[in-house]
Structure 1
Amino acid sequence: MIVPGRFSNGFRDYCQSTIDRVLVIRSLLESGLPVRLIRELLPRLTDGSDARTDAVCAEFLHEVQNYRDRLAARIAALSDQQAALDAYLREVRRTDL
């Protein structure tokens, strides 16, 4: 997702735009977005063309919303499973007394 420049001695050169890109990637990863989504849309978000940026940002936000909705559904399913297990444990404890 990043391609640093190189000095003549082979050392990597991380210019400010690369550092900024890393910060964006880290922020997106920390928010829970999958690498696949970040890798797919990040180049179009940062290509600098204003005409496409609005459309890409809208597409990106749509993808983020879809991911968030899928995550919320998974959380709800897990919460239901946890509640069922809690009920089972309460029942087992009550009958063991």
Structure 2
Amino acid sequence: MRIGELSEHTHTSRRLLRYYEDQGLIASRRDPNGWRSYDEGNVDRVLRIRRLLEAGLPTRIIRQILPCLDEPGTIHVPDASPEIIAALEQERNRLTKRIRFLMRNRDAVAAYLDTVRAGRAA
């Protein structure tokens, strides 16, 4: 797919996609006419990058952990600095809090749904 298609699929500007490529976060190949061409896997990868950036991780850390996220069976981070470990712990803790929040909301919706259904059955 061309950069415009990747931009549409991910709601990410072309300029930002080129930045991600410059940072080594995504890769493209060049068509004979010089245009960038991306494979379908970059859609999920760009969305993952955006979530990690929104979580506050810098691109240099994202570049190091992306291979772990793309292929969970091959986790290998030989140069994990204390900063990377701290950032990952912070992200894990943020996700854990979010999961708890979502579970509480799911349980509240389920309880409400049960009440509504019981009221309709009566």
Pair member with larger Rg = 1
**Structure with the bigger percentage of helix:** 1
The normalised TM-score by structure 2 is: 0.40
TM-score of the two chains, using structure 1 as the length reference: 0.49
